[in-house]
Amino acid sequence: MPRLLMIKGFGGPAATIFAPLFAELGELSVIYERTETTFLDLDPAAEREAVEAVGAYVEVGSPEEIPAAALAEAAERPPDGIITLSEPLLRTTAEIARELGLSHTNPVETARIVTDKYEQREALRRVGMPTPRHARISSAADLDPALEAVGLPAVLKPAFGAGSMLIFEVDSAADLHRHYGEAIERHCRSELVRGTDPVFDLEQRIPSEDWHGDERFGNYVSVEVLMAGGAFHALNVSDRTRQLPPFRETGLLLPSSLPPDRRTELIDAARGACEAIGATDGPFHVEVMTTPDGPVVIEINGRVGGSIPYIYEQITDVELFRETAKIALGIEPITAPEFDGHGGMFNIHAPGEGAVTKLEGLDAARELPGVRQMMVAVHEGDRVSSMLGLLGGMIRVIAAAPTVDELFAIRERVMETVSYEVG
């Protein structure tokens, strides 16, 4: 049987989810970075037991320890493929794959680009895809030159980040200096970017257009992609709900209700983006703005969308985590899912910064018709920050319904039921 080497760190599914799925494909070794996370509640004993029930478990205490541990495990039990579902470890995993001579994974250069928004913009620009003006900010000395190069209005975002973390509107030089100070102060608080330098990208704000003709939807989508052996497979287009200011993601619905010709345009943009960064294998979550001049790629993420596998569980027969592992082992994945109804994810963000003084209605919300799962990353008394987006105190709801209108109705009932206050 083939053996899969899994690199597990911050983010991605728990071992209790991935271990039994991966074990269906062959033998399993897991390098598990033990993190003290407040993002989601994990039971360390249950995590270890889940892996040891089906394979080899190797625990490390930091990202720096992962390469040596992985190479030692590979020497004892040679793997046929390697995978990570932890976005901060994409580069590390690609480097380990190169060292071990493993195929069916993305090149190191692709892993580098997909974890650096500045480099993504440069890759898109080099192949002639539409991309906004942008500039890297590595220190306060870069602020004014960046603003001169990009112009206004603009968006400030981390070069590496996720979940709407530390993204700011910039309408003046004063805005840029203030928001940069806020971002620097909070950068070190996020578990996602621990150990990385606080580098940012200033981008020209992309003018958007409503392609749905429905104010409930946002003017952007995501395209969910699997790459296998260099072949591009678009699983679906996901519609997005209106953002909270400044750029906080509030929800996602799939499959898209856009007309087929519009979906084709968006998929073509995602294909061009994956080709531009040299992607060959694995999942990609490509966010695309809908504009008067056509699709404009916002960013390329080298992972499945955070909620997508859980939505797929509700409305398809496809286990996306397992399909991703198939790619790493050179097994052909399922690339044409059939949808039974509509699925959605809705986020409840921290309503400000401070300590959580009230968090009520969670049990009642879980019992609402159509609610299939709730992920709660916050408790009363926790310190939260809306500036950190989903990583600053998130409640995420997975729902399913026969129609899009019914999904929106479920969201309204959840919002009416949950009471979340910060003091």
The yes-or-no verdict on residue 196 having pLDDT over 80 is no
Q: Is 100:82 a contact under the CB 8 Å cutoff?
A: yes
Q: What is the pLDDT of residue 190?
A: 66
Task: Kindly list the strands in the beta sheet with 81-84, ordered across the sheet, starting from the edge strand earlier in the chain.
Answer: 55-60, 27-33, 3-8, 81-84
- Give me the CATH number covering residue 365: 3.30.470.20
**52 vs 349, which has greater pLDDT?**
52
Q: Is 324:333 a contact under the CB 8 Å cutoff?
A: yes
Residue 207 tokens, joined: 């003018």
Q: In a 3-state reduction of DSSP, which class is residue 343?
A: strand
166 lies in the same domain as 236: no
Q: In a 3-state reduction of DSSP, which class is residue 19?
A: helix
Confidence of residue 103 (pLDDT cuts 50, 70, 90): very high
The yes-or-no verdict on residue 36 having pLDDT over 80 is no
- Return the CA Rg of the chain: 21
DSSP category for residue 114: H
Residue 407 tokens, joined: 């999904």
Q: What is the pLDDT of residue 37?
A: 59
The last residue of a domain, from among 339, 367, 397: 339
The Cα 257–Cα 403 span in angstroms is: 10
Q: Which residue carries 């003084």 as its tokens?
A: 357
213 lies in the same domain as 333: yes
0.85 cut: is pTM over it? yes
117 lies in a domain?
A: no
Average pLDDT, the chain: 94
Q: What is the pLDDT of residue 393?
A: 77
Could you report the per-residue pLDDT of 368-420, keeping only the tens digit for each? 999 999 999 888 999 988 887 767 778 999 999 999 999 999 999 999 999 99
The yes-or-no verdict on residue 356 having pLDDT over 80 is yes
Sign for the CA dihedral angle at 86, 308, 383, 172 comes to positive
Domain count of the fold of the chain: 4
242 lies in the same domain as 315: yes
Q: Which residue carries 């401070």 as its tokens?
A: 354
Confidence of residue 186 (pLDDT cuts 50, 70, 90): confident
Q: What is the pLDDT of residue 188?
A: 73
Confidence of residue 203 (pLDDT cuts 50, 70, 90): very high
Could you report the per-residue pLDDT of 106-134, keeping only the tens digit for each? 999 999 999 999 999 999 999 999 999 99
Helix (H) or strand (E) holding 232: strand 231-241
Over range 85-91, report the average pLDDT: 93
Task: Give residue 360's region: left, alpha or beta (phi > 0; psi -120 to 50).
Answer: beta
Q: What is the pLDDT of residue 168?
A: 95
Q: Which residues of 342-371 are buried (b: 16+ CB within 10 A; e: fewer)?
A: bbbbbbbbbeeebebeebeebeebeeeebb
The last residue of a domain, from among 150, 185, 204: 204
SS3 content of the chain, % helix, strand, coil (to 5): 35, 30, 35
377 lies in the same domain as 417: yes
Confidence of residue 35 (pLDDT cuts 50, 70, 90): confident
168 lies in the same domain as 232: no
Q: Is 10:88 a contact under the CB 8 Å cutoff?
A: yes
The Cα 287–Cα 362 span in angstroms is: 30
* Domain assignment of residue 185, given as a range: 133-204
The yes-or-no verdict on residue 38 having pLDDT over 70 is no
112 lies in a domain?
A: no
Helix (H) or strand (E) holding 49: helix 44-52
Q: What is the pLDDT of residue 191?
A: 64
The yes-or-no verdict on residue 326 having pLDDT over 70 is yes
Confidence of residue 172 (pLDDT cuts 50, 70, 90): very high
Over range 219-240, report the average pLDDT: 98
181 lies in a domain?
A: yes
218 lies in the same domain as 328: yes
Confidence of residue 201 (pLDDT cuts 50, 70, 90): very high
